[in-house]
Amino acid sequence: MAGNTFGKLFRVTTAGVSHGPGYLCIVDGCPAGLELSVEDLLPDLRRRRPGQSKLTTQRDEADTPEIWSGVFEGKTDGTPIGILFRNADQRSGDYGDIKDKYRPGHADYTFDSKYGFRDYRGGGRSSARETVCRVAAGAVAKKLLAREGIRVLGYVTRVGNVAAEVSDPAAVTLDQVEANPVRCPVPEAARRMEELIDEVRKDRDSIGGVCELAAIGVPPGLGEPVFDKLKADLGKALLSLPAVLGFEYGAGFAVAGMRGSENNDVFVPAPASGGREPPEGIKTRGGHAPHSPAIRTETNRHGGMLGGISSGEPIVCRVAIKPTSSIPRAQRTVTRAGDPTEILVKGRHDPCLLPRFVPMGEAMIALVLVDHLLRARTARLS
Amino acid sequence: MAGNTFGKLFRVTTAGVSHGPGYLCIVDGCPAGLELSVEDLLPDLRRRRPGQSKLTTQRDEADTPEIWSGVFEGKTDGTPIGILFRNADQRSGDYGDIKDKYRPGHADYTFDSKYGFRDYRGGGRSSARETVCRVAAGAVAKKLLAREGIRVLGYVTRVGNVAAEVSDPAAVTLDQVEANPVRCPVPEAARRMEELIDEVRKDRDSIGGVCELAAIGVPPGLGEPVFDKLKADLGKALLSLPAVLGFEYGAGFAVAGMRGSENNDVFVPAPASGGREPPEGIKTRGGHAPHSPAIRTETNRHGGMLGGISSGEPIVCRVAIKPTSSIPRAQRTVTRAGDPTEILVKGRHDPCLLPRFVPMGEAMIALVLVDHLLRARTARLS
Amino acid sequence: MAGNTFGKLFRVTTAGVSHGPGYLCIVDGCPAGLELSVEDLLPDLRRRRPGQSKLTTQRDEADTPEIWSGVFEGKTDGTPIGILFRNADQRSGDYGDIKDKYRPGHADYTFDSKYGFRDYRGGGRSSARETVCRVAAGAVAKKLLAREGIRVLGYVTRVGNVAAEVSDPAAVTLDQVEANPVRCPVPEAARRMEELIDEVRKDRDSIGGVCELAAIGVPPGLGEPVFDKLKADLGKALLSLPAVLGFEYGAGFAVAGMRGSENNDVFVPAPASGGREPPEGIKTRGGHAPHSPAIRTETNRHGGMLGGISSGEPIVCRVAIKPTSSIPRAQRTVTRAGDPTEILVKGRHDPCLLPRFVPMGEAMIALVLVDHLLRARTARLS
Amino acid sequence: MAGNTFGKLFRVTTAGVSHGPGYLCIVDGCPAGLELSVEDLLPDLRRRRPGQSKLTTQRDEADTPEIWSGVFEGKTDGTPIGILFRNADQRSGDYGDIKDKYRPGHADYTFDSKYGFRDYRGGGRSSARETVCRVAAGAVAKKLLAREGIRVLGYVTRVGNVAAEVSDPAAVTLDQVEANPVRCPVPEAARRMEELIDEVRKDRDSIGGVCELAAIGVPPGLGEPVFDKLKADLGKALLSLPAVLGFEYGAGFAVAGMRGSENNDVFVPAPASGGREPPEGIKTRGGHAPHSPAIRTETNRHGGMLGGISSGEPIVCRVAIKPTSSIPRAQRTVTRAGDPTEILVKGRHDPCLLPRFVPMGEAMIALVLVDHLLRARTARLS
């Protein structure tokens, strides 16, 4: 029950710390027959990688996965997919000061409280480097989703006080997102976000933001009625990522100010085509036509989920990401003994977590959707 | 995998629908030796009950639990606690119109999509009546928490455009919350909320809001480092409740606009007393002194969780609740066949869900905390 | 983790004790669309019921289930099936002597050791009356299996020193099994078993035996390769029943004396028909033809499982059942304080558990097979 | 749900196949603070290793584990223990013939049936090489058990028609077991077993047997009352190992012939010392005195478990192991297309699986006991 497994039917189990030899990732429950190779994992791992631009940390991490099992002659074979990542850049010296002082905003104190001691070389198990495993597993999940005509795409909609207006999440393309280092699909906003992050970095500070994520092509009927509502599992998935302090979907916190007559989404007949094209970038290799509903809603304040079950409308959610806790300036804190002191956290850190968060968020959504797709296979008599 | 069980060590499994004979609730994993009787379940069930005031639905539901097992001579005996609720007020006729039309904002369409048909008598399994089970199980959890000096308390901080300012969640008392039918501890705001709800009701409409929930006295060290972070499990728990569209903790979505130097909470030595009194209303019967830390944080923008593990500071979170979807006016929708029509949802519904949400939210938080308290028992060598 | 849930996709959770108001049983994960009523549960409950013949206890228990949820208009609707059993015959006085003395062979001492005290009215949670829930849930599972052309049937093959030779488990019929109160399909052996049980009863003693169970029509491919091998899950299922001290399948313990050249089952082409008729008593309502393999094995020493995965051959296993621990004569024991004493266990007990064990064993096998049938739905790309 | 995780609180997840790069093993839930290094894993891995004697296969496998995480400065730190094994001796050519023919007694046909194809290089996922992971994880579990004064020891009691009489399982020592290559603690029987295995090997055949396993020092109270009885979890654990066709504990199948008056174990006061010494080879480093009961049973036909919960008496069980399916002689079988053919399985195989089974069986028992020890921590109020 130490919480290193995610998912029920599509299960990801991980081990590893930032300053050990590397990470182990086991993906259990992937159906047999999916074409898969290391190449499929690389694009998202590159998007997650440090050192992509001046907006992200300049650490150089070797994020090359090795697939040890689960794939035979180019296809998943039903047995667990074993993936390894070796850690390359272990400059432990950089972190020496945190051995006896608690970094503000980090898990140092809480780990000590939980286990009686901790791996003080970097964040240990709490390091965000652990997300390499999630992103790799998420890439497998995305391939499964693509076969069903489902695409997951995230993008940055806010950094500090700079916000981007995205009116139609289903229309955003991967190219738009990847066109700038911030991963904001609105060019003018992206430019201002970039400037802000650069300014913050020069101030030896960091800045928070919001990431929006959308899943297009999800058929109606995913999610379970009571405890395992799709919204609940998505919320858990995203809140399990480092630095996430909030999750909302559809109209989100804005519903607090609404009346029912404003907020309810009206059901309407779908246009003849079902109103659906395969999402951009998705070729359905599974012979599955993308979901073509007869019924839609006129608006999507419900974010694609009603009663916790997918409605067929785009699933749209947002998460709030705090500013990086490690900032290159002295901060007050206490020693392990409880005495007041100052700490200067060394190392190279992202001034803004948002750009690299995007593939992590996508991965978690993909993992949840695949899990529920598999669960949905048992909802009715065959 | 149909998702009718919540929790890992302290597990709640439920069955039942709004218009059948009643509900079954099995609480498995409660340690032996806890004094427990039906009386312990009643206070929160009464707070959840319809018909408490003109602010809530006038339906009359018999929410009297029967404990069939798990308690022997007044104490839990380690075997599963079986609880029954009989449904009394089954005016099925009220719901007849929804058999062939999809109510906007409800799970009618998504259930049909999932299972191929559905129980159309009221919400069936998606009815919020299901939360009687959660509130009963949560009351057991609260008793376990009280022994450890932990108190969970929720209250309404926003209804529509009326907000209440609560500066110190740890100082709010149950009496303040229960002093008015809105369950807002700030009297002036409560009065205006009441007026607003009354106005909305007369408009044959409904209104959303925000509920804040705080857990006081939680020791540091609860929560698991990676997937089962405490924040993730709390988020899932609250998002699994009907009508919740957003979850945040600590500074929440406001972190998006903050810099690290503003947001980081500084560690400081605790005052000699640990700065803690037992929370109001909590007599620790277990011989456990409330948690007295040597180290605290000066501020609590982290909402009591760092790295997903409790820090010993109050756990504070908020959820956004949508306006009731059932409103007593005609709405556009479609039939099951997809043809446009109008629907007038009959029955008696809350014009605002917030007042009755409070005990539901508290119950879910209590369930998560007890689960993690039990999990924490295995974190170290004994 | 208190172990009151069985299964992963088809999950049974139970609560209740022998001398409380009754039992709660929640079956979660049953696919929507299965015709189901209380009538479906009664036949196996009657076979499990005490007081069927002079061979079984004369206690009169009301084993009438009430289905509270999960069935709508005669079909399962995908939501959890809630089943209740009320306890009728609570002659607590009969058990008074066991309050302070440990019954040999029972769980009195081990419960006390585990929880610090126990419900001493009868066996409490350890009473075999708990199996009413298993048999009811198993009846639902059997209906699902029947749709796939699968039949589970158990029968007694040994009582004390009287053994019955059953050469072809697939040829045994329910009528043969139910033709005598022992549930042994070989009439001559059945007659001698009956005599033996009667003799033992008159001796104020009890007697053990062996039950064989066979599942016919199971398609190849059920079971998971490593930890959740089908043989492992069947073993756990049957060993979780009271009084079972051993489990074997196929050649079982006899393999210890065999050579590989004797034991290996040779693969052969199947006859044109696949060599399979629907098992007796099974009309496949699901439109599924019974499994018709192209490949079979010449013999079935592997008991229908290779590498822990079903081979398409009949699954055949056996369990050893101990003689009833409660015997109507004085036995030496100790008090709770550890002082030597004698105990005379009152009440009415089966002189031989075997006849009533048959439906319990069938139920557990059915639960495992349905669980693995559902799991198999996710083994390959759809 | 593909079954590559074992345990609930102490969880082992594995991936890997016999002819890929190697195996990944993640042990999640080990309490923090246990001294652990690779050295702790080696003794049992050496006992499991092929090529130990002429009685076992002459394959040379590199069974050296690498611990990648979960241990910091010599102690477990509460995070998942990641262990790797690299495969060294990949003579794939030896197995080429099985690509298109089904080996009798193996999982080739059942894997094909399940997944539509399979990794035909050796046994793939069904290879017993997978047990390196179990033995390594079991060694961690054994260290935890030793702290509590619990020892698990297995030994061979039967090979073919040669049986060894072990009157007191608690008196057998590791030295006695390791004194001969068969791992039978009775020297004369061991010598005859050795001769038999040698004879069988020369006959190009294989032979089955029985392994007995005992856990000494287990306190009363482990195991859950209903589905997760200790006997059920032990049965599942051992039946999940390759080649196991039967499991029994205590009197086992012999109970079928017994009367209650013969079989019941009488409770008696324990001698002043509790009648217990720490088991041989166990120094309790955890400061836990070995369990010293006030109450014992005069005999142990119940194999240390009553009502599925440990009684404090030695837990004693036995498993039946089939003769190795791969024998160096031609066998009849069919091709994947179903055509009759012959197969000669190449490679080097154990003529008798028993000697190498011993550490595998011990590992599984240790995993179950640690899981239930951790579960027992939540059975009562703290």
Q: What is the pLDDT of residues C255-284, one digit of tens each?
A: 999 999 999 999 999 886 665 666 766 655
3-state percent helix, strand, coil for chain D, nearest multiple of 5: 30, 25, 45
- Beta partners for C210? C158, C320
Report how far residue B80's alpha carbon sits from residue C2's, in angstroms, rounded to the nearest whole number.
8
For residue A366, the surrounding DSSP H or E stretch is helix A354-376
Look at B17 and C69 and tell me if their CB atoms are within 8 Å: yes
* Count of structural domains, chain D: 1
**Cβ(A186)–Cβ(B72) below 8 Å:** no
Range of the domain at D130: 91-376
Predicted-assembly ipTM surpassing the 0.90 threshold: yes
Selected residue with higher pLDDT from B226 and A271: B226
- Give chain D positions within 8 Å (CB) of C158: 256-257
Look at D33 and B380 and tell me if their CB atoms are within 8 Å: yes
Residue C382 placed within a domain = no
The predicted pLDDT at position C16 comes to 97
- Give chain A positions within 8 Å (CB) of C9: 378
Q: What is the pLDDT of residues C131-159, one digit of tens each?
A: 999 999 999 999 999 999 999 999 999 99
Q: Give the burial class of C321: count Cβ atoms within 10 A of its Cβ; 0-12 exposed, 13-18 middle, 19 or more buried.
A: buried
Which of B2, B21, B69 has its CB closest to that of C28?
Answer: B2
Label residue B140 by pLDDT band (50, 70, 90). Answer: very high
D19 contacts: CB under 8 Å, gap ≥ 6: D87, D90, D92, D95, D119, D121, D122, D124
- Beta partners for D32? B380
Give mean pLDDT, residues C229-254: 98
The predicted pLDDT at position B294 comes to 86
- In 3D space, the residue among C166, C150, C146 whose CA is nearest the CA of residue C158 turns out to be C166
| Whether the predicted pLDDT of B99 surpasses 90 | no
Residue C381 placed within a domain = no
- Altogether, the residues listed in chain C come to a count of 382
The predicted pLDDT at position C353 comes to 97
- Give chain D positions within 8 Å (CB) of B147: 381
The predicted pLDDT at position D284 comes to 55
Phi, psi (degrees; rounded to nearest 5) at C359:
-65, -30
Residue B381 placed within a domain = no
The predicted pLDDT at position D334 comes to 96
CA nearest to A115 within chain D: D32
Residue C297 placed within a domain = yes
Q: Which amino acid is at D39?
A: E
The predicted pLDDT at position D153 comes to 98
- Give chain B positions within 8 Å (CB) of D78: 379-380
- In 3D space, the residue among D234, D263, D229 whose CA is nearest the CA of residue D247 turns out to be D234
Which of B32, B286, B378 has its CB closest to that of D9?
Answer: B378
On the CB side of A282, CA atoms within 13 Å amount to 30
Residue B168: Cβ within 10 Å count = 10
User: DSSP letters along B118-152, please?
Assistant: ---STTGGGSGGGHHHHHHHHHHHHHHHHHTT-EE
- In tens digits, chain D (382 residues) has pLDDT values of 899 999 999 999 999 999 999 999 999 999 999 999 999 999 999 999 987 777 766 565 568 999 999 999 999 999 999 999 999 866 555 566 788 999 999 999 999 999 998 888 878 999 999 999 999 999 999 999 999 999 999 999 999 999 999 999 999 999 999 999 999 999 999 999 999 999 999 999 999 999 999 999 999 999 999 999 999 999 999 999 999 999 999 999 999 999 999 999 999 998 866 656 667 666 555 555 556 678 999 999 999 999 999 999 999 999 999 999 999 999 999 999 999 999 998 777 899 999 999 999 999 999 999 999 999 999 999 8
What percent of chain C lies above the pLDDT cut of 70? Answer: 91
The predicted pLDDT at position D294 comes to 86
Residue A382 placed within a domain = no
Residue D199 placed within a domain = yes
Q: What average pLDDT is seen over chain C?
A: 92
Q: What is the pLDDT of residues C32-84, one digit of tens each?
A: 999 999 999 999 999 999 877 777 665 655 689 999 999 999 999 999 999 99
User: DSSP letters along C337-377, please?
Assistant: TS-EEEE---S---SBSHHHHHHHHHHHHHHHHHHHHHHHT
The predicted pLDDT at position A202 comes to 96
Q: Write out the E strands in chain B.
A: 5-6, 11-16, 22-28, 65-69, 71-72, 75-76, 81-86, 151-159, 162-163, 209-216, 244-249, 267-269, 295-297, 305-306, 309-310, 315-321, 331-334, 340-343
CA nearest to C26 within chain B: B15
Chosen for mutation from D76, D77, D92 (greatest number of chain A CBs closer than 10 Å) is D77
The predicted pLDDT at position C290 comes to 58
Distance from CA of C341 to the nearest CA of D (A): 9
| Whether the predicted pLDDT of B357 surpasses 90 | yes
Chosen for mutation from A36, A150, A382 (greatest number of chain C CBs closer than 10 Å) is A382
- Give chain D positions within 8 Å (CB) of C333: 266-267
What does the block give as tokens for C46? 């009657």
**Cβ(B352)–Cβ(B207) below 8 Å:** yes
Give mean pLDDT, residues B48-57: 78
Give mean pLDDT, residues C91-114: 84
- In 3D space, the residue among D309, D316, D318, D313 whose CA is nearest the CA of residue D298 turns out to be D313
Handedness of CA B37, B43, B46, B48 (dihedral sign): negative
**Cβ(D104)–Cβ(D333) below 8 Å:** yes
Q: What average pLDDT is seen over chain B?
A: 92
Phi, psi (degrees; rounded to nearest 5) at D206:
-140, 170
Residue carrying structure tokens 């109270």? D221
Report how far residue B358's alpha carbon sits from residue A262's, in angstroms, rounded to the nearest whole number.
24
Task: Give the angle subtended at the CA of C358 by the CAs of C355 and C360, to the nearest 5°.
Answer: 120
CA nearest to C364 within chain D: D227
- In 3D space, the residue among B5, B357, B3 whose CA is nearest the CA of residue B182 turns out to be B357
CATH classification of the domain holding B369: 3.60.150.10
Selected residue with higher pLDDT from C99 and A14: A14
What is the pairing mode between strands B209-216 and A22-28? unpaired
Which of A15, A28, A78 has its CB closest to that of D69?
Answer: A15
**Cβ(D170)–Cβ(D216) below 8 Å:** yes
Report how far residue C134's alpha carbon sits from residue C120's, in angstroms, rounded to the nearest whole number.
23
The predicted pLDDT at position A125 comes to 95
**Which residue ranges in chain A fall short of pLDDT 50?**
none
- Which runs of consecutive H residues, i.e. helices, occur in C148-263? 174-178, 187-202, 230-239, 260-263
**Cβ(B70)–Cβ(B35) below 8 Å:** no
Residue A66 placed within a domain = yes
Residue C299: Cβ within 10 Å count = 14
**Cβ(C101)–Cβ(C341) below 8 Å:** yes
Q: What average pLDDT is seen over chain A?
A: 92
Look at A247 and B239 and tell me if their CB atoms are within 8 Å: yes
- Give chain B positions within 8 Å (CB) of C66: 21
Residue C293 placed within a domain = yes
Distance from CA of B377 to the nearest CA of D (A): 7
